[in-house]
């Protein structure tokens, strides 16, 4: 069985992890990104507790999707690895997962509230509220806690891969946001947007309790960016809004260079 992933995946995961503090999503080491090679049945993730400023390609950990076994790397993987693995197993369309403890999204998670759709900024990316899970039970915390953290997200979404694609984010109650996308980089982009709309929502709710805008307006904003009739942007000019983030000096590529 192979223990190597496709070319470029490790570099993408490294760059996405290094961008977490760059875009203000983490304090200390509070965040991680992974990316998956589904053909190989492996995913790559940040090691546990390694400061971002020290992180290199050599530190990344490769994990087997089927059973969670570490098959590459000398360090322990992120403690959230089993949550990432649960999401990958449940939703075949996703290629990357990001978890952070960003301030405003965590505030909603700790209040155990969905992030409501209060305007078009939210609707541009998320086709509905960003949902918050129920509390984990004592049994879920006592055994296989990290896998069960993913399980409550999956159960909340009812294993609906289409819904996971339309709202590529969830809040784990009392914990924080997990976001995903077709690539590691895209999952990080969704984490950035999740935090931004959480911040905007908190400011809006502080001004006035607000109901949702008209559904037709929200639908218009979502469908102009997503689906067969999308017309936003110029794909030939840039593949991602993240294209300007995480372009790293070659010295970060390995611990030995």
Catalytic residue positions, numbered:
124, 232
What are the C-alpha distances in Å from 31 to residues 104, 131, 162? 15, 20, 26
CA-CA distance, 33 to 14, in Å (whole number)? 8
pLDDT of residue 159: 60
Q: pLDDT truncated to tens, each residue of the chain (257 aa)?
A: 678 999 999 999 999 999 999 999 989 999 999 999 999 999 999 999 999 999 999 999 999 999 999 999 999 999 999 999 999 999 999 999 999 999 999 999 999 999 999 999 999 999 999 999 999 999 999 999 999 999 999 999 986 666 788 999 999 999 999 999 999 999 999 999 999 999 999 999 999 876 678 888 888 888 988 888 888 888 777 555 555 555 544 434 444 43
pLDDT of residue 255: 47
Secondary structure of residue 71 in the 3-state scheme = strand
pLDDT of residue 213: 80
CA-CA distance, 48 to 32, in Å (whole number)? 9
pLDDT of residue 20: 97
Does this model's pTM top 0.85?
yes
């Amino acid at each position: 069985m192979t223990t190597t992933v496709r070319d470029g995946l490790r570099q993408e995961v490294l760059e996405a992890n290094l961008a977490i503090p760059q875009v203000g999503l983490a304090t200390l080491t509070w965040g991680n990104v992974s990316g998956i090679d589904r053909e190989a049945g492996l995913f790559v993730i940040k090691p546990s507790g390694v400061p971002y400023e020290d992180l290199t390609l050599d530190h990344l950990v490769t994990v087997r999707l089927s059973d969670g076994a570490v098959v590459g790397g000398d360090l322990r993987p992120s403690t959230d690895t089993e949550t990432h693995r649960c999401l990958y197993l449940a939703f075949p369309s996703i290629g990357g997962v990001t978890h952070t403890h960003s301030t405003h999204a965590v505030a909603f998670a700790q209040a155990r509230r969905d992030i409501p759709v209060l305007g078009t900024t939210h609707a541009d990316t998320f086709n509905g509220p960003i949902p918050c899970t129920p509390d984990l039970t004592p049994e879920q915390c006592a055994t296989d806690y990290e896998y069960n953290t993913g399980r409550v997200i999956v159960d909340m979404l009812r294993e609906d891969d289409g819904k996971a694609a339309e709202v590529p984010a969830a809040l784990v109650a009392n914990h924080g946001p997990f976001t995903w996308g077709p690539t590691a980089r895209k999952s990080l982009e969704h984490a950035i947007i999740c935090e931004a709309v959480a911040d905007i929502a908190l400011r809006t709710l502080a001004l006035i309790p607000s109901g949702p805008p008209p559904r037709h307006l929200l639908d218009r904003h979502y469908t102009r960016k997503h689906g067969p009739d999308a017309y936003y942007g110029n794909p030939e000019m840039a593949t991602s809004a993240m294209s300007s983030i995480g372009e790293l000096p070659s010295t970060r590529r390995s611990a030995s260079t």
